[in-house]
Structure 1
Amino acid sequence: MTERSTTPRAAVGNMVDTESPWSKVHELWSDLGPFKQASLCQILEEDTDLCHSVWQVLNAKRNDLVELDLHGDTVTQFMDLMNSKLLAQGKIICQIAFRLLVGLLQACDIAPSSIFISDVRLLENDAVFHGVYADIFKGFKDGQEVALKRPRIYIGDDHRRTQQALKREALIRRGLSHPNILPFLGIDSQTFPSNPCIVSPWMRYSTVLEHLKGRIPTNVEKFGLLLEVADGMAYLHRQNVVHGNLSGANILVDQNAHALLSGFSLAGFANTEDYDSELNALTSNYGADGSDANTEVTQARPRTLASDVYAFACVFLEIYAGQSDIVNYNYNDAERLRDIRRQRPSQPSDHGIQMSDDVWHLIRSCWHPDPSCRPTMDNILDQMKEIGFGTL
């Protein structure tokens, strides 16, 4: 069989069996042609075990890309097509693709071109919000107002690593789609060429706490927002995604007064050995998504589905009370957990009316000292629906 007659499945085998898989990618990719390229990705999409084998081999040899100088169109095109096929599939395939792409980011700054967008117009030269880790600018793209999140770069920061962290966040967010998740539009590398931005739709009402400030919302309104937050978090956990940075400052409200989860700079897939190592490698200077909240959560502490549940209970109290200092967000800190075992917050009240026992029991269950005993977000969502509106 000549090189010109290589079939897509044979190409996969060649990539898995060779000592230099990235060289084989380079050799075979143009030989396959567009139709067979798509067929190869279809094979990887349909065969989870084979896809995992390809990921393992390519990821293990990703440093070869530096030595082989394969930074050009061949590898980028391969990753673009593989990425577009795999990230549309189930969570296992999505994780495989994500981990490979993060590995390529760390090894040689290769990222799918599909995460980038162009023609974003800046509406105001000055940032409309200044945070510790990022500034937010207002722009316009394709007929809608957008927000540009530009990471802050301080003296001594590793600029390359900050940009890699931005791309890592994009790789996670582009695979998410839910009514209560802030949509990801892309990375804009043109408006600020030396400092690319994450672009999302503009949110008129800012954060949920800003939305509630200065007025007396009804229990029905507050419960509705909390139910939407729970729905968004349950969706993330069904995708095996840990948010890792949930707080009132990272929940936005759109023009129709619906809650949208944001702040995904510390997000990652649960139950993967390299989640924390990836995070440590890429996000030390890329933290709280333009807000000053939750800065106690550092990269050295584990983030899990259970820690998200703990954080959700804190958010519940924040929205209930309408203020951000009602609870301590240091939910991954062992000392804080020991304090909570000794003395939990008392059952709160709002305008003289105590929170219902059913709701308070749900919140306390989210703070169980043993993370394995906390309810799942799907359990929480079901319990909230059973409790019903107006029962805070």
Structure 2
Amino acid sequence: MPSQRSQEELEAYIDETLRAHPEFQEGEEGEQLRRILMFSIGMPEVREMIEGALDELVVAKHIERLDQQSLKYCDVDSPEHRALESALYDVLQKAGDVLPDLVLNRGEVRVEPNPKPSVISKIFGKDFLPADHYVGTYLGKEKVVVKAILHAGARDAVWADRLKKEGEAWNRAWRKNKSYIVPIYGFIAQKKVMPWISAVYPKYDNGTVVQYLDNNPSTDHMRIIRRIAEGMNALHNMCIIHGDLRGANIVIDKHGNPLIGNFDLDHISNSRLYAYISQEESGRWRAPEMLEGRIPLASADVYMFAMTALEVLTHKEPYYYIERTSTVLEKIRKGVWPEEPKDAQVIQRGLHVGLWLVLSTCWMPDPGLRPEMKEVIHLLERYYPGRR
């Protein structure tokens, strides 16, 4: 960190700044601000921004922005960088928010080796692409999932901007509905870190919804389904279409509640390869109009919700009794629904005639005949009152 000032000058500058804002002199906020001011010495641009933020009395939000910008002035492995990461993480935890700039190119995330095999490598062979999921550390303190977006090159500035806007819209919905939605921490767009732009999400120890239910079979399955429906309704109320709803994109928080994440980015991609990979991965849940290349609307989300509800009840993917995905996709195009499960265990979890009727209505081939999510919630409340 460049600085030519003496220790006395540093202390005088910090004390003068804090005296001008007595509300931040004491306690945790004062200590955080003191640390950030210390690192801003020798960086006039950052210092000016800090003082402007203080003058506007919106310190918490501006400290996030300033500290994030300050990271680029430090070597990523330096003590200064790590101290700034730690200070910023503490501020974010207290504010209950994420970094304001979702392009994480200042060392905010450290990606670890030993990645999971990629979906594309399973299709074309392991040498085609080593991995698309990694684990990383966010601001030096929190484990995160790093997911490669296979059609977006790390040096593609246009893609980075589009993804940033998508992420900002998603996080606006998250801020209003934190008990239903997973935030997106941002995107890494540095070729030296990853060859593709990669999305960064929190890592949840309970895993996905199906993993959790397998490990906790006595869980109230209908409560899980009801909360997924409420989360989807919250997204639709914010004019956000998920586009890839399925069990793999729903995680369970520490309280046992489902959180919806991993929104689909296929609708802003022109990559045929990515479209093919995406269908192989999630085609069993998709509405027939999506298989024809149409942009998903809220009605497509309703269709996928019903497939996900069936997955929750059976602990198996839709059409699990058909091995080839291409055969399943052909049945979906023809309007052939999944077979109604008759297992006593599935029925005990909540699948009866009334619920099957609700799911069947959501699977109507004509999108205009499917109910809205708020209507689905009303029907679930009728058959399963109080499951929240």
Query: If the length of structure 2 is used for normalisation, what is the TM-score?
Result: 0.56
After TM superposition, give the deviation of residue 325 of structure 1 in Å: 4.1
Asked whether 1:141 is paired with 2:142, we answer no
CA displacement 1:15-74 (0-9 Å, x = unmatched): xxxxxxxxxxxxxxxxxxx9xxxxxxxxxxxxxxxxxxxxxxxxxxxxxxxxxxxxxxxx
CA distance in 2, matches of 1:158, 1:284: 17
Q: Which position in structure 2 is the counterpart of 1:122?
A: 110
Distance change >3 Å, CA 141–CA 280, structure 1 → 2: closer
User: What code does the residue aligned with 1:294 have?
Assistant: G
SS of residue in 1 equivalent to 2:282: coil
Conserved 8 A contact 2:148-2:199: yes
After TM superposition, give the deviation of residue 184 of structure 1 in Å: 1.1
Q: Which position in structure 2 is the counterpart of 1:187?
A: 187
CA displacement 1:286-337 (0-9 Å, x = unmatched): 787899333875582341111111111111111100111446899x978625
User: What code does the residue aligned with 1:315 have?
Assistant: T
Q: How does 1:192-271 map to 2 (within 5 A)?
A: 192=193, 194-213=195-214, 215=215, 217-218=217-218, 221-266=220-265
Q: Which position in structure 2 is the counterpart of 1:150?
A: 148
CA distance in 2, matches of 1:139, 1:291: 26
Conserved 8 A contact 1:135-1:290: no
Q: Which position in structure 1 is the counterpart of 2:171?
A: 174
CA distance in 2, matches of 1:361, 1:243: 24
Q: Which position in structure 2 is the counterpart of 1:66?
A: none
Unpaired stretches in structure 1, ≥5 consecutive residues: 1-33, 35-112, 268-275
CA distance in 1, matches of 2:330, 2:186: 37
Q: How does 1:37-186 map to 2 (within 5 A)?
A: 114-117=101-104, 118-122=106-110, 124-128=112-116, 130-132=118-120, 135-142=132-139, 143-152=141-150, 160=156, 166-167=163-164, 169-177=166-174, 178=177, 179-186=179-186
Q: Which position in structure 1 is the counterpart of 2:282?
A: 293
CA displacement 1:161-183 (0-9 Å, x = unmatched): 76566445424423321222111
Identical columns (%) = 21
Match of 2:354 among 337, 354, 358: 358
CA distance in 2, matches of 1:207, 1:348: 25
After TM superposition, give the deviation of residue 375 of structure 1 in Å: 1.2
CA displacement 1:3-25 (0-9 Å, x = unmatched): xxxxxxxxxxxxxxxxxxxxxxx
Conserved 8 A contact 2:247-2:311: yes
Task: Tell which structure's C-alpha radius of gyration is larger.
Answer: 2
SS of residue in 2 equivalent to 1:198: strand
After TM superposition, give the deviation of residue 347 of structure 1 in Å: 5.1
Q: Which position in structure 2 is the counterpart of 1:86?
A: none
Q: Which position in structure 1 is the counterpart of 2:8?
A: none
After TM superposition, give the deviation of residue 376 of structure 1 in Å: 0.7
CA distance in 2, matches of 1:291, 1:123: 27
User: What code does the residue aligned with 1:170 have?
Assistant: G
User: What code does the residue aligned with 1:114 have?
Assistant: D
CA displacement 1:253-282 (0-9 Å, x = unmatched): 233322121221337xxxxxxxx6xx2447
Q: Which position in structure 2 is the counterpart of 1:387?
A: 383
Distance change >3 Å, CA 116–CA 289, structure 1 → 2: farther
Distance change >3 Å, CA 373–CA 286, structure 1 → 2: closer
CA distance in 2, matches of 1:287, 1:166: 20
User: What code does the residue aligned with 1:318 have?
Assistant: E
Q: Which position in structure 1 is the counterpart of 2:301?
A: 308
User: What code does the residue aligned with 2:189 have?
Assistant: S
